Structure 1
Amino acid sequence: MSSYYLDLIVQGALYALVLFSVITWVLILAKGVQHYRLGKRDKQFTKQFWSASTLDAASALASDASPKSRLANVGFAALHVSESGDASSDLEHSWDRQELLERHLRQQIQKEYQSLESGLAVLASIGSTAPFVGLFGTVFGIIHALGAIGKSGSASIDVVAGPIGEALIATGVGIAVAVPAVLAFNFYVRRLKVTAAELDNYATDFVNLAQKNGFRVTRPATKAAPQTARPASAPQQGAYA
Protein backbone atom coordinates (compact mmCIF):
# COMPACT_ATOMS: atom_id res chain seq x y z
CA MET A 1 0.00 0.00 0.00
CA SER A 2 1.39 3.40 -0.98
CA SER A 3 2.20 6.08 1.55
CA TYR A 4 -0.55 8.27 0.06
CA TYR A 5 -3.28 5.82 1.02
CA LEU A 6 -1.70 5.23 4.41
CA ASP A 7 -1.76 8.96 5.10
CA LEU A 8 -5.34 9.09 3.87
CA ILE A 9 -6.41 6.33 6.28
CA VAL A 10 -4.71 7.99 9.25
CA GLN A 11 -6.28 11.36 8.41
CA GLY A 12 -9.66 9.69 7.95
CA ALA A 13 -9.40 8.18 11.43
CA LEU A 14 -8.54 11.59 12.87
CA TYR A 15 -11.47 13.25 11.09
CA ALA A 16 -13.79 10.53 12.36
CA LEU A 17 -12.58 11.12 15.91
CA VAL A 18 -13.12 14.87 15.54
CA LEU A 19 -16.68 14.15 14.36
CA PHE A 20 -17.21 11.83 17.34
CA SER A 21 -15.95 14.56 19.66
CA VAL A 22 -18.38 17.13 18.23
CA ILE A 23 -21.31 14.72 18.57
CA THR A 24 -20.27 13.88 22.14
CA TRP A 25 -20.15 17.48 23.32
CA VAL A 26 -23.38 18.38 21.54
CA LEU A 27 -25.13 15.50 23.31
CA ILE A 28 -23.54 16.42 26.65
CA LEU A 29 -24.80 20.00 26.40
CA ALA A 30 -28.22 18.99 25.06
CA LYS A 31 -28.80 16.40 27.79
CA GLY A 32 -27.56 18.82 30.43
CA VAL A 33 -30.03 21.50 29.33
CA GLN A 34 -32.80 18.88 29.14
CA HIS A 35 -32.23 17.59 32.67
CA TYR A 36 -31.86 21.11 34.08
CA ARG A 37 -35.11 22.36 32.57
CA LEU A 38 -37.12 19.26 33.43
CA GLY A 39 -35.76 19.21 36.99
CA LYS A 40 -36.66 22.86 37.52
CA ARG A 41 -40.16 22.41 36.10
CA ASP A 42 -40.68 19.25 38.14
CA LYS A 43 -39.84 21.11 41.34
CA GLN A 44 -42.29 23.88 40.49
CA PHE A 45 -45.08 21.47 39.63
CA THR A 46 -44.46 19.31 42.71
CA LYS A 47 -44.70 22.36 44.96
CA GLN A 48 -47.95 23.46 43.31
CA PHE A 49 -49.39 19.95 43.34
CA TRP A 50 -48.84 19.32 47.05
CA SER A 51 -50.05 22.84 47.88
CA ALA A 52 -53.44 22.12 46.32
CA SER A 53 -56.32 21.75 48.79
CA THR A 54 -57.91 18.71 47.09
CA LEU A 55 -57.19 16.28 44.30
CA ASP A 56 -59.87 18.00 42.23
CA ALA A 57 -58.03 21.28 42.64
CA ALA A 58 -54.74 19.62 41.71
CA SER A 59 -56.25 18.32 38.47
CA ALA A 60 -56.55 21.90 37.25
CA LEU A 61 -52.80 22.43 37.75
CA ALA A 62 -51.60 19.67 35.47
CA SER A 63 -49.73 20.80 32.36
CA ASP A 64 -47.28 19.36 29.87
CA ALA A 65 -44.15 21.20 31.03
CA SER A 66 -42.46 18.43 33.04
CA PRO A 67 -42.49 14.63 33.41
CA LYS A 68 -44.47 14.74 36.65
CA SER A 69 -47.09 17.08 35.21
CA ARG A 70 -47.50 14.83 32.17
CA LEU A 71 -47.77 11.84 34.50
CA ALA A 72 -50.46 13.66 36.48
CA ASN A 73 -52.30 14.50 33.25
CA VAL A 74 -52.36 10.82 32.31
CA GLY A 75 -53.52 9.86 35.80
CA PHE A 76 -56.38 12.34 35.82
CA ALA A 77 -57.38 11.31 32.30
CA ALA A 78 -57.49 7.66 33.40
CA LEU A 79 -59.71 8.58 36.36
CA HIS A 80 -62.04 10.50 34.07
CA VAL A 81 -62.24 7.53 31.69
CA SER A 82 -62.89 5.07 34.50
CA GLU A 83 -65.62 7.31 35.86
CA SER A 84 -67.41 7.92 32.58
CA GLY A 85 -66.80 4.56 30.89
CA ASP A 86 -69.19 1.64 31.00
CA ALA A 87 -67.54 -1.55 32.29
CA SER A 88 -69.40 -3.61 29.69
CA SER A 89 -68.89 -1.32 26.69
CA ASP A 90 -65.40 -2.31 25.55
CA LEU A 91 -62.06 -3.70 26.71
CA GLU A 92 -60.68 -0.25 27.50
CA HIS A 93 -63.22 0.20 30.30
CA SER A 94 -63.27 -3.41 31.50
CA TRP A 95 -60.42 -2.74 33.94
CA ASP A 96 -60.80 -2.06 37.62
CA ARG A 97 -60.41 1.65 38.45
CA GLN A 98 -57.13 1.14 40.28
CA GLU A 99 -55.78 -1.25 37.66
CA LEU A 100 -56.66 1.17 34.87
CA LEU A 101 -54.94 4.03 36.67
CA GLU A 102 -51.79 2.02 37.42
CA ARG A 103 -51.59 0.75 33.84
CA HIS A 104 -51.75 4.28 32.39
CA LEU A 105 -49.17 5.55 34.87
CA ARG A 106 -46.77 2.72 34.07
CA GLN A 107 -47.08 3.38 30.35
CA GLN A 108 -46.40 7.09 30.81
CA ILE A 109 -43.37 6.40 33.00
CA GLN A 110 -41.98 4.21 30.22
CA LYS A 111 -42.50 7.03 27.71
CA GLU A 112 -40.71 9.51 29.96
CA TYR A 113 -37.90 7.00 30.48
CA GLN A 114 -37.48 6.53 26.74
CA SER A 115 -37.44 10.30 26.18
CA LEU A 116 -34.70 10.83 28.77
CA GLU A 117 -32.78 7.81 27.50
CA SER A 118 -32.47 9.20 23.96
CA GLY A 119 -28.88 9.95 22.99
CA LEU A 120 -27.30 7.78 25.67
CA ALA A 121 -26.76 4.88 23.26
CA VAL A 122 -24.75 7.22 21.02
CA LEU A 123 -22.55 8.26 23.95
CA ALA A 124 -22.01 4.64 24.91
CA SER A 125 -21.12 3.71 21.32
CA ILE A 126 -18.64 6.58 20.97
CA GLY A 127 -17.07 5.80 24.33
CA SER A 128 -16.53 2.16 23.39
CA THR A 129 -15.40 2.61 19.76
CA ALA A 130 -13.31 5.83 19.84
CA PRO A 131 -10.19 4.13 21.31
CA PHE A 132 -10.35 1.48 18.61
CA VAL A 133 -10.67 4.10 15.89
CA GLY A 134 -7.59 5.79 17.31
CA LEU A 135 -5.81 2.46 17.45
CA PHE A 136 -6.81 1.86 13.84
CA GLY A 137 -5.06 5.10 12.87
CA THR A 138 -2.09 4.12 15.00
CA VAL A 139 -1.65 0.80 13.22
CA PHE A 140 -1.57 2.40 9.80
CA GLY A 141 0.71 5.15 11.07
CA ILE A 142 3.20 2.49 12.19
CA ILE A 143 2.86 0.73 8.83
CA HIS A 144 3.66 4.05 7.19
CA ALA A 145 6.74 4.44 9.42
CA LEU A 146 7.95 0.93 8.59
CA GLY A 147 7.48 1.62 4.89
CA ALA A 148 9.48 4.82 5.17
CA ILE A 149 12.26 2.92 6.93
CA GLY A 150 12.27 0.28 4.20
CA LYS A 151 12.49 2.85 1.41
CA SER A 152 15.23 4.91 2.99
CA GLY A 153 17.15 2.01 4.42
CA SER A 154 17.63 3.97 7.60
CA ALA A 155 15.77 4.12 10.92
CA SER A 156 16.90 7.62 11.82
CA ILE A 157 14.64 9.89 13.80
CA ASP A 158 13.95 12.20 10.87
CA VAL A 159 12.56 9.29 8.85
CA VAL A 160 10.19 7.79 11.44
CA ALA A 161 9.31 10.89 13.49
CA GLY A 162 6.48 12.05 11.22
CA PRO A 163 4.57 8.75 10.81
CA ILE A 164 5.09 7.71 14.44
CA GLY A 165 3.91 11.15 15.57
CA GLU A 166 0.71 10.80 13.55
CA ALA A 167 0.18 7.36 15.03
CA LEU A 168 0.57 8.63 18.59
CA ILE A 169 -1.73 11.58 17.87
CA ALA A 170 -4.45 9.20 16.65
CA THR A 171 -4.17 7.15 19.84
CA GLY A 172 -4.27 10.23 22.06
CA VAL A 173 -7.26 11.73 20.24
CA GLY A 174 -9.13 8.43 20.49
CA ILE A 175 -8.66 8.34 24.26
CA ALA A 176 -9.53 12.05 24.59
CA VAL A 177 -12.81 11.46 22.76
CA ALA A 178 -13.71 8.29 24.66
CA VAL A 179 -13.19 9.62 28.20
CA PRO A 180 -15.82 12.44 28.11
CA ALA A 181 -18.31 10.15 26.36
CA VAL A 182 -17.97 7.43 29.00
CA LEU A 183 -18.12 9.89 31.89
CA ALA A 184 -21.17 11.64 30.44
CA PHE A 185 -22.89 8.30 29.79
CA ASN A 186 -22.39 7.15 33.38
CA PHE A 187 -23.54 10.51 34.75
CA TYR A 188 -26.74 10.67 32.71
CA VAL A 189 -27.56 7.02 33.33
CA ARG A 190 -27.38 7.83 37.04
CA ARG A 191 -29.61 10.88 36.55
CA LEU A 192 -32.03 8.73 34.55
CA LYS A 193 -32.29 6.20 37.37
CA VAL A 194 -32.90 8.95 39.91
CA THR A 195 -35.61 10.53 37.75
CA ALA A 196 -37.27 7.16 37.14
CA ALA A 197 -37.30 6.48 40.90
CA GLU A 198 -38.86 9.90 41.55
CA LEU A 199 -41.57 9.21 38.95
CA ASP A 200 -42.27 5.80 40.51
CA ASN A 201 -42.62 7.38 43.94
CA TYR A 202 -44.87 10.11 42.58
CA ALA A 203 -47.04 7.53 40.78
CA THR A 204 -47.40 5.59 44.03
CA ASP A 205 -48.44 8.74 45.90
CA PHE A 206 -50.87 9.59 43.11
CA VAL A 207 -52.53 6.16 43.34
CA ASN A 208 -52.83 6.50 47.13
CA LEU A 209 -54.42 9.93 46.79
CA ALA A 210 -56.82 8.63 44.15
CA GLN A 211 -57.75 5.72 46.42
CA LYS A 212 -58.57 8.08 49.27
CA ASN A 213 -60.68 10.06 46.82
CA GLY A 214 -62.57 6.96 45.71
CA PHE A 215 -60.85 7.00 42.31
CA ARG A 216 -63.13 9.86 41.31
CA VAL A 217 -61.98 13.26 40.14
CA THR A 218 -64.18 16.07 38.93
CA ARG A 219 -63.28 17.33 35.52
CA PRO A 220 -61.94 20.90 35.61
CA ALA A 221 -64.41 23.40 34.29
CA THR A 222 -63.62 24.57 30.79
CA LYS A 223 -63.86 28.21 29.96
CA ALA A 224 -66.69 29.10 27.65
CA ALA A 225 -65.63 30.45 24.32
CA PRO A 226 -66.22 34.19 24.07
CA GLN A 227 -69.15 35.07 21.86
CA THR A 228 -68.42 37.51 19.12
CA ALA A 229 -70.78 40.37 18.66
CA ARG A 230 -73.10 39.92 15.70
CA PRO A 231 -72.71 42.66 13.12
CA ALA A 232 -75.63 45.00 12.79
CA SER A 233 -77.77 44.23 9.80
CA ALA A 234 -77.73 46.77 7.00
CA PRO A 235 -80.91 48.83 6.70
CA GLN A 236 -83.23 47.61 4.03
CA GLN A 237 -83.99 49.83 1.11
CA GLY A 238 -87.16 51.69 1.54
CA ALA A 239 -87.08 51.54 5.32
CA TYR A 240 -86.90 55.27 5.51
CA ALA A 241 -89.06 57.62 3.55
Structure 2
Amino acid sequence: MNEHIQKLIVDGTLYGLVFFSVITWILIIAKGVQHYRLGRQNKIFTKKFWSASNLEAAASLPETTGAKARLAASGFSALYVVDGESPDLEHSWDRQELLERHLRQQIQKEYESLESGLAVLASIGSTSPFVGLFGTVFGIIHALSALSKAASPSIDIVAGPLGEALIATGVGIAVAVPAVLAYNFYLRRLKLASADLDNYATDFVNLAQKSGFRVTKPLSKTVGNQRVTGATANAANQALGAAA
Protein backbone atom coordinates (compact mmCIF):
# COMPACT_ATOMS: atom_id res chain seq x y z
CA MET A 1 0.00 0.00 0.00
CA ASN A 2 1.23 3.50 -0.83
CA GLU A 3 2.92 5.23 2.11
CA HIS A 4 0.96 8.40 1.43
CA ILE A 5 -2.32 6.49 1.74
CA GLN A 6 -1.14 4.88 4.96
CA LYS A 7 -0.30 8.31 6.38
CA LEU A 8 -3.71 9.62 5.35
CA ILE A 9 -5.41 6.69 7.12
CA VAL A 10 -3.52 7.39 10.35
CA ASP A 11 -4.27 11.13 10.17
CA GLY A 12 -7.93 10.44 9.32
CA THR A 13 -8.20 8.15 12.32
CA LEU A 14 -6.88 10.87 14.62
CA TYR A 15 -9.24 13.48 13.18
CA GLY A 16 -12.12 11.04 13.50
CA LEU A 17 -11.31 10.45 17.16
CA VAL A 18 -11.15 14.20 17.78
CA PHE A 19 -14.60 14.49 16.17
CA PHE A 20 -15.90 11.71 18.43
CA SER A 21 -14.48 13.56 21.44
CA VAL A 22 -16.26 16.79 20.47
CA ILE A 23 -19.58 14.93 20.06
CA THR A 24 -19.05 13.22 23.42
CA TRP A 25 -18.51 16.45 25.34
CA ILE A 26 -21.41 18.17 23.59
CA LEU A 27 -23.69 15.32 24.67
CA ILE A 28 -22.27 15.31 28.21
CA ILE A 29 -23.00 19.03 28.62
CA ALA A 30 -26.42 18.82 26.93
CA LYS A 31 -27.55 15.87 29.06
CA GLY A 32 -26.24 17.58 32.19
CA VAL A 33 -28.31 20.68 31.45
CA GLN A 34 -31.34 18.51 30.62
CA HIS A 35 -31.20 16.59 33.90
CA TYR A 36 -30.53 19.75 35.93
CA ARG A 37 -33.57 21.50 34.44
CA LEU A 38 -35.67 18.36 34.89
CA GLY A 39 -34.80 18.11 38.58
CA ARG A 40 -35.47 21.80 39.23
CA GLN A 41 -38.78 21.83 37.33
CA ASN A 42 -40.01 18.63 38.98
CA LYS A 43 -39.13 19.99 42.42
CA ILE A 44 -41.12 23.19 41.82
CA PHE A 45 -44.14 21.36 40.42
CA THR A 46 -44.13 18.70 43.13
CA LYS A 47 -44.23 21.36 45.83
CA LYS A 48 -47.17 23.13 44.15
CA PHE A 49 -49.04 19.90 43.44
CA TRP A 50 -48.90 18.51 46.97
CA SER A 51 -49.73 21.92 48.42
CA ALA A 52 -53.10 21.90 46.61
CA SER A 53 -56.15 21.25 48.78
CA ASN A 54 -57.54 18.57 46.46
CA LEU A 55 -57.27 17.17 42.95
CA GLU A 56 -59.64 19.83 41.59
CA ALA A 57 -57.37 22.54 42.95
CA ALA A 58 -54.31 20.76 41.56
CA ALA A 59 -55.93 20.72 38.13
CA SER A 60 -56.29 24.51 38.34
CA LEU A 61 -52.61 25.16 39.04
CA PRO A 62 -50.90 27.62 36.72
CA GLU A 63 -49.15 26.04 33.78
CA THR A 64 -45.66 24.82 34.64
CA THR A 65 -42.97 22.95 32.77
CA GLY A 66 -41.24 19.69 33.54
CA ALA A 67 -41.78 15.96 33.19
CA LYS A 68 -44.12 15.68 36.19
CA ALA A 69 -46.16 18.67 35.05
CA ARG A 70 -46.62 17.10 31.62
CA LEU A 71 -47.49 13.77 33.24
CA ALA A 72 -50.10 15.45 35.44
CA ALA A 73 -51.54 17.31 32.43
CA SER A 74 -51.83 14.02 30.57
CA GLY A 75 -53.61 12.46 33.57
CA PHE A 76 -56.01 15.36 33.97
CA SER A 77 -56.89 15.20 30.26
CA ALA A 78 -58.17 11.67 30.89
CA LEU A 79 -60.18 12.72 33.96
CA TYR A 80 -61.72 15.97 32.72
CA VAL A 81 -65.49 16.09 32.40
CA VAL A 82 -67.70 19.05 31.63
CA ASP A 83 -71.01 19.27 33.49
CA GLY A 84 -73.97 18.79 31.17
CA GLU A 85 -71.82 17.68 28.24
CA SER A 86 -72.03 14.17 26.79
CA PRO A 87 -68.68 12.37 26.98
CA ASP A 88 -66.88 11.70 23.71
CA LEU A 89 -65.91 8.23 22.54
CA GLU A 90 -62.53 8.33 24.27
CA HIS A 91 -64.04 9.19 27.66
CA SER A 92 -66.95 6.78 27.36
CA TRP A 93 -65.07 3.67 28.51
CA ASP A 94 -63.49 2.73 31.85
CA ARG A 95 -61.93 5.91 33.18
CA GLN A 96 -59.29 4.18 35.30
CA GLU A 97 -57.97 2.28 32.31
CA LEU A 98 -58.05 5.49 30.28
CA LEU A 99 -56.08 7.31 32.97
CA GLU A 100 -53.48 4.55 33.28
CA ARG A 101 -53.08 4.42 29.49
CA HIS A 102 -52.51 8.19 29.31
CA LEU A 103 -49.96 8.05 32.10
CA ARG A 104 -48.10 5.12 30.55
CA GLN A 105 -47.89 6.85 27.19
CA GLN A 106 -46.60 10.09 28.73
CA ILE A 107 -44.01 8.25 30.83
CA GLN A 108 -42.79 6.53 27.67
CA LYS A 109 -42.44 9.91 25.94
CA GLU A 110 -40.45 11.31 28.86
CA TYR A 111 -38.27 8.19 28.91
CA GLU A 112 -37.51 8.51 25.21
CA SER A 113 -36.59 12.17 25.67
CA LEU A 114 -34.17 11.39 28.49
CA GLU A 115 -32.77 8.39 26.62
CA SER A 116 -31.86 10.41 23.53
CA GLY A 117 -28.11 10.64 23.01
CA LEU A 118 -27.22 7.72 25.25
CA ALA A 119 -26.90 5.33 22.31
CA VAL A 120 -24.36 7.69 20.73
CA LEU A 121 -22.32 7.79 23.95
CA ALA A 122 -22.41 4.01 24.21
CA SER A 123 -21.34 3.62 20.58
CA ILE A 124 -18.44 6.06 20.93
CA GLY A 125 -17.32 4.47 24.18
CA SER A 126 -17.30 0.97 22.72
CA THR A 127 -15.77 1.73 19.29
CA SER A 128 -13.18 4.46 20.00
CA PRO A 129 -10.47 2.07 21.31
CA PHE A 130 -10.83 -0.05 18.17
CA VAL A 131 -10.69 3.02 15.93
CA GLY A 132 -7.49 4.02 17.70
CA LEU A 133 -6.14 0.50 17.27
CA PHE A 134 -7.00 0.69 13.57
CA GLY A 135 -4.82 3.79 13.27
CA THR A 136 -2.08 2.08 15.27
CA VAL A 137 -1.96 -0.87 12.86
CA PHE A 138 -1.50 1.37 9.84
CA GLY A 139 1.04 3.46 11.73
CA ILE A 140 3.12 0.35 12.35
CA ILE A 141 2.74 -0.71 8.70
CA HIS A 142 3.91 2.76 7.69
CA ALA A 143 6.94 2.46 9.99
CA LEU A 144 7.88 -0.99 8.67
CA SER A 145 7.52 0.16 5.08
CA ALA A 146 9.83 3.11 5.72
CA LEU A 147 12.32 0.83 7.42
CA SER A 148 12.37 -1.65 4.54
CA LYS A 149 13.03 1.06 1.94
CA ALA A 150 15.78 2.78 3.89
CA ALA A 151 19.33 2.34 2.63
CA SER A 152 20.70 2.31 6.17
CA PRO A 153 17.97 1.21 8.63
CA SER A 154 17.96 3.04 11.97
CA ILE A 155 15.61 3.78 14.84
CA ASP A 156 15.15 7.34 13.63
CA ILE A 157 13.32 6.13 10.54
CA VAL A 158 10.59 4.28 12.47
CA ALA A 159 10.39 6.57 15.51
CA GLY A 160 7.99 9.06 13.90
CA PRO A 161 5.46 6.56 12.45
CA LEU A 162 5.52 4.45 15.62
CA GLY A 163 4.92 7.56 17.72
CA GLU A 164 1.85 8.42 15.62
CA ALA A 165 0.66 4.85 16.00
CA LEU A 166 0.88 4.99 19.78
CA ILE A 167 -0.80 8.39 19.84
CA ALA A 168 -3.77 6.93 17.94
CA THR A 169 -4.18 4.23 20.58
CA GLY A 170 -3.91 6.74 23.42
CA VAL A 171 -6.41 9.12 21.84
CA GLY A 172 -8.85 6.26 21.27
CA ILE A 173 -8.73 5.34 24.96
CA ALA A 174 -8.96 9.00 26.01
CA VAL A 175 -12.12 9.41 23.93
CA ALA A 176 -13.71 6.17 25.14
CA VAL A 177 -13.29 6.71 28.90
CA PRO A 178 -15.42 9.91 29.24
CA ALA A 179 -18.06 8.44 26.91
CA VAL A 180 -18.39 5.25 28.95
CA LEU A 181 -18.45 7.09 32.28
CA ALA A 182 -21.04 9.58 31.02
CA TYR A 183 -23.19 6.78 29.60
CA ASN A 184 -23.22 4.88 32.90
CA PHE A 185 -23.92 8.06 34.88
CA TYR A 186 -26.81 9.26 32.73
CA LEU A 187 -28.23 5.75 32.43
CA ARG A 188 -28.41 5.69 36.23
CA ARG A 189 -30.08 9.11 36.25
CA LEU A 190 -32.54 7.88 33.62
CA LYS A 191 -33.54 4.92 35.77
CA LEU A 192 -34.01 7.16 38.83
CA ALA A 193 -36.10 9.66 36.86
CA SER A 194 -38.22 6.87 35.38
CA ALA A 195 -38.82 5.35 38.82
CA ASP A 196 -39.77 8.78 40.18
CA LEU A 197 -42.34 9.24 37.39
CA ASP A 198 -43.72 5.74 38.00
CA ASN A 199 -44.16 6.50 41.71
CA TYR A 200 -45.85 9.82 40.92
CA ALA A 201 -48.18 8.11 38.44
CA THR A 202 -49.17 5.58 41.10
CA ASP A 203 -49.93 8.40 43.56
CA PHE A 204 -51.91 10.21 40.88
CA VAL A 205 -54.06 7.13 40.21
CA ASN A 206 -54.74 6.74 43.95
CA LEU A 207 -55.79 10.38 44.23
CA ALA A 208 -57.97 10.07 41.14
CA GLN A 209 -59.67 7.02 42.65
CA LYS A 210 -60.79 9.11 45.61
CA SER A 211 -62.46 11.56 43.24
CA GLY A 212 -64.15 8.83 41.24
CA PHE A 213 -61.77 9.32 38.32
CA ARG A 214 -63.60 12.50 37.41
CA VAL A 215 -62.31 16.05 37.58
CA THR A 216 -64.31 19.07 36.47
CA LYS A 217 -62.48 20.75 33.63
CA PRO A 218 -61.08 24.13 34.70
CA LEU A 219 -62.86 27.03 33.02
CA SER A 220 -61.13 30.25 32.04
CA LYS A 221 -62.81 33.61 32.16
CA THR A 222 -61.64 37.20 32.01
CA VAL A 223 -62.82 39.31 34.94
CA GLY A 224 -61.88 42.93 34.54
CA ASN A 225 -58.27 42.88 33.36
CA GLN A 226 -57.44 39.58 35.06
CA ARG A 227 -57.62 36.08 33.61
CA VAL A 228 -58.67 33.40 36.11
CA THR A 229 -59.07 29.66 35.82
CA GLY A 230 -60.56 26.68 37.61
CA ALA A 231 -62.11 27.25 41.04
CA THR A 232 -61.45 30.99 40.83
CA ALA A 233 -63.38 31.16 37.58
CA ASN A 234 -66.27 29.25 39.12
CA ALA A 235 -66.40 31.68 42.04
CA ALA A 236 -66.29 34.58 39.64
CA ASN A 237 -69.13 33.09 37.61
CA GLN A 238 -71.25 32.76 40.76
CA ALA A 239 -70.51 36.33 41.74
CA LEU A 240 -71.45 37.61 38.30
CA GLY A 241 -74.65 35.56 38.37
CA ALA A 242 -75.62 36.98 41.76
CA ALA A 243 -74.95 40.50 40.56
CA ALA A 244 -77.18 39.94 37.53
> Unpaired runs of 5+ in structure 2?
226-244
Task: Return closer, same or farther for 1:74/1:42 CA change in 2, 3 Å cut-off.
Answer: same
**In 2, distance between residues paired with 1:180 and 1:154?**
44
Would the alpha carbon gap of residues 5 and 161 (structure 1) be closer, same or farther in structure 2, given more than 3 Å must change? same
Correspondence 1:134-173 to 2 at 5 A? 134-152=132-150, 154-173=152-171
Once residues 176 and 188 of structure 1 are traced to their aligned partners in structure 2, the CA distance between those partners, rounded to angstroms, is 19
- Three-state SS of the structure 2 residue aligned to 1:224 is strand
The equivalences for 1:7-156 within 5 A come to 7-61=7-61, 63-80=63-80, 86=87, 90=89, 92-152=90-150, 154-156=152-154
Q: Deviation at 1:218? A: 1.9
Larger gyration radius, structure 1 or structure 2: 1
Q: Partners in 2 of 1:110 and 1:209 — Cα distance?
A: 21
Residues 137 and 167, structure 1, Cα contact 8 Å, conserved in 2: yes
Q: Provide the C-alpha distance between the structure 1 equivalents of 2:217 and 2:186, rounded to a whole number of angstroms.
A: 37
Q: Contact 2:81/2:216 (CA < 8 Å) preserved in 1?
A: no
State the TM-score, normalized to the length of structure 1. Answer: 0.88
Identity over the aligned pairs, expressed in percent? 72
Instruction: Identify, as 1 or 2, the structure richer in strand.
Output: 2
**Distance 1:164-1:188 versus aligned 2 partners, 3 A rule:** same
Structure 1 residues 218 and 4: alpha-carbon distance in aligned structure 2, compared to 1, 3 A threshold: same
* CA deviations over 1:115-152 (Å, ceiling 9, x no partner): 01001111011111111110110000000011011001
Q: Does 1:214 align with 2:212?
A: yes
Once the two structures are TM-superposed, the CA of residue 161 in structure 1 deviates from its matched residue by 0.4
CA distance in 2, matches of 1:222, 1:62: 12
Q: Which amino acid aligns with 1:176?
A: A
Q: Could you list the runs of 4 or more consecutive aligned residues of structure 1 that deviate by over 3 angstroms after TM superposition? A: 81-86
What's the CA shift for 1:156? 2.1
Matched-pair contact (CA < 8 Å) for 2:78–2:91: no
Is the partner of 1:223 in helix, strand or coil? strand
The equivalent of 1:235 in structure 2 is none
Report if aligned partners of 1:142, 1:163 keep a CA contact under 8 Å in 2. yes
Query: What are the ranges of 5 or more consecutive residues in structure 1 without an aligned counterpart?
Result: 228-241
Structure 1: distance between partners of 2:140 and 2:218: 72
User: Against the structure 1 CA distance between its residues 82 and 131, is the aligned structure 2 distance closer, same or farther, given a 3 Å change threshold?
Assistant: farther
Q: Please give the alpha-carbon distance, in whole angstroms, between the structure 1 residues aligned to 2:47 and 2:22.
A: 38
The number of residue pairs the alignment matches comes to: 224
- Please give the alpha-carbon distance, in whole angstroms, between the structure 2 residues aligned to 1:61 and 1:117: 29
Q: TM-score, normalised by structure 2?
A: 0.87
Alpha-carbon deviation of 1:85?
5.5
Q: Does the CA-based 8 Å contact 1:6-1:141 persist in structure 2?
A: yes
